[in-house]
Amino acid sequence: MNGAFAISQSDKRAMYLQIMEQVKQRIAVGDWTEGQTIPSIRQLAVDLEVSVITVKRAYLELEREGIIVTQQGKGSRVASTPGLGARLREQELVQHLDSALRIAAQLGIRPDELEERLREAGDRLAEKETI
Amino acid sequence: MNSTDMKDSAVKHLVLKDWRLNRMQIFLSMAAGVLALGVIQRGGETAFVVGGVWFFMSLILVGHMLPLVGILNERKKQNLAFLMSLPVSFLQYTTAKLLSTLGMFLIPWLTLVSAGLWLIESRGILPRGAIPMALILAFMPFVGFSLITGAVLVSESEGWGIAVNVACSSSYALVWYFLGKIPGLMSNAMAPSPVWNSAARNVLECEFGLVVAILGLTFYLQSKKKDFV
Amino acid sequence: MTDLAIELSGVGKEYRFFSLDKIHLQVPEGQIMGLIGPNGAGKSTTIRILMGLVHQDCGEVRVLGHSMPAGQVAAKWDIGFASEDMRLYDGLTLGWHMNFMRSIYPKWDAAYAQVLLKRFGLRQEQKIKGLSHGQRVKAMLLLVFARKPKLLVLDEPTTGLDPVARHEILRELTNVMADEGRSVLFSSHNTQDVEQISDQITFIDRGRIIDSMDKELYLDRWRRLRLEVPFGVQLPALPGIIGIRQDGRMAIVTANAFAPDLANAYERSGARVQRIENMTLEEIFVANVEHSREEVEV
């Protein structure tokens, strides 16, 4: 069973994107380590109650990104790239920064102003944690 | 297991299923008929008339109710759609239906008619000369049964089923009346031994022919259908 | 080339107030096909034809390699068919029905039937007439699933069910698909069910098949674009656009053949693409039906 997976119906993103993200998260948090065998496409489809084709799509994209390796008849495993988990966490950070920049641009906030705002946010978080 | 074995077994199971669903009704109508014969056997005119009518009614009851309940209900309650999901063709369904309905009718009919004839033959409740008329009378609900079975299978409608049921029920007396007019039938009823003259034989052949023709026509019309359920 | 579990080519059927318009439909083996359409679109007629229960006026129907309706007996050994208008025998118990099926089908899996009984919360001693609608549907599906048929054909299996029962049935359906050799065709007007579990999608409306393809590819082609259109800018007519609604400076564009080029083309025309949104199958369904009806009327 892959109990920690769940597809959200209210998430506007395509289901295969949600699956990709959750696979990445499992690798990022270290649940799945480099070279480890992961559930087969059909098995994950059964566990998630989604169609095989959706999981297949997610696995294909993940393979294209070099995160997993699928071998015909042998199933799929996490790619044996050292430091893959850390790289995925890094990637996640970059994505969040990118989207912050995009939203800032829409609001007319310049990058240097954004930097200032980021520092302020850091202070707020630190304050909360001390309380 | 090859495919013909499997095909036959599906039809067999449909027949067994009908037996399971209708056996209570068959036993009850048989019990009613036997009781009626018991009443007749007590002797006396009243007992004879009451028992005779009762006996005839139980033959009609089983003959008319079997197709109405067993075939129409199955369609009305949408069990037919379920049956047609099983590995049977519509013609096989028709075959199973005709076999089971006919079989379930013949069990009480043959039992009761032979019991009645035996009572005439060995207990003398009527002169032996009444045997041809008794047989002719017994065949009437058989014709009614075939008509209703054919009507409900082919028309697939409750309205037609009920209409044919009413028509049959009300024409038994009429047919009996006209039979009485045929020379050489009633006149021999009190004879000491059965008289198998041409009148008696013709009527019996006619009845039997009708049963075969109606059931055959039903099978033919069913084989022409294209849409089911 | 993958084997086809179901293949309809040029299949037509004329009724007085409805006709099925020479449809083509293919369900590859090992996949779930979701058949979507409004009420009266022709879903049930299509299913009856492919089950051999209604004879088509024209066209070829092949199911599991058997030509229909002639080969229906042979085909039905391997098809589990359940539809909304089917009823079990009221006066008999679920257990009787299970025995009935077991006596007919040599492949009946008694152990799996027991598992399903538990999962669906049913009891063998229950008479059918005492069951609720949801329990009846589950009882019917139990009889179908426990036979382990190669092909499941389910007409509206989740209609009228509460969310828990619906979920139980969808879970069982995806379980079936763990076996690569088995295929499913199910019709529904619940697009969420179809979006979640099907590999292939077929849209049917007014007796015509509007679209039939791989679900992922299909969802990928549909997008909603939110555009800001400055004063004086005229939106160009582009291929793959099936609807534009404009109000003041905002425009919402629905595309059924989306590619990044499309957004670029709008940018070049002077409009600003604010957002590109995915569409749910339900949104696509409505947009598609409306669009195809407009096309027919034109």
pLDDT confidence tier of residue B1, bands split at 50, 70 and 90: very low
pLDDT given for residue B215 in this prediction: 94
pTM for this prediction:
0.83
**Average pLDDT of every residue of chain B:** 88
What residues of chain C, 130 to 159, have a C-beta less than 8 Å from chain B? 140
| DSSP secondary structure letters along B49-104 | HHHHHHHHHHHHHHHHHHHIIIIIIHHHTTHHHHHTTSS--HHHHHHHHHHHHHHH
> Chain C contact for B12, CB < 8 A?
no
Question: Tokens at residue A8, please?
Answer: 């959200």
Does the distance separating the beta carbons of C197 and A51 come in below 8 Å? yes
* C-alpha closest to that of C11 among C65, C51, C64, C40: C51
d(CA C76, CA C206) in angstroms, rounded, equals 28
pLDDT band at B2 (very low <50, low <70, confident <90, very high): very low
Q: Say yes or no for a CB contact (<8 Å) between C48 and B1.
A: no
pLDDT at B57 over 80: yes
**Element containing residue C63 per DSSP (H, E):** strand C58-63
Please give the DSSP secondary-structure letter assigned to residue C130.
Answer: G
Nearest to C86 among B1, B6, B78 (CB): B78
pLDDT of residue C126: 94
- For the stretch B84-123, pLDDT in tens is 999 998 888 988 999 999 999 999 999 999 999 998 888 8
Q: pLDDT for A98-113, tens place per residue?
A: 988 888 887 888 888 8
DSSP state of C67: E
Cβ distance of C170 and A51 shorter than 8 Å: no
Q: Which residues of C touch A45 (CB under 8 A)?
A: 174, 177-178
The two counts, helices (H) then strands (E), for chain C are: 10, 14
pLDDT digits (tens, 9 = 90+) for A42-64: 889 988 888 888 999 999 999 99
Ranges under pLDDT 50 in chain C: 1
Residue type, C260: P
**Distance in angstroms between the alpha carbons of the first and the last residue of chain B:** 30
Nearest CA in chain A to C220: A14
Q: Quick check: B180 pLDDT over 50?
A: yes
Q: Which residue of C has its CA nearest to B79?
A: C87
Output the six-digit token pair for A105: 């641009």
Residue C1's pLDDT is what? 45
Q: C252: which DSSP letter?
A: E
Task: Over range B180-201, report the average pLDDT.
Answer: 86
| CB contact (8 A) between residue C31 and residue A49 | no
pLDDT digits (tens, 9 = 90+) for B116-169: 999 888 887 888 888 999 999 999 999 999 999 999 999 988 899 999 999 999
Partner residue opposite A9 with nearest CB, options C192, C214, C216: C192
The label of the residue with tokens 């310049």 reads A110
Residue B8 pLDDT greater than 60, yes or no: no
Nearest to C74 among B3, B77, B82 (CB): B3
- Mutate which of C197, C224, C277 to disrupt the A interface (most A C-beta within 10 Å)? C197
Give me the percent of chain C exceeding a pLDDT of 90: 55
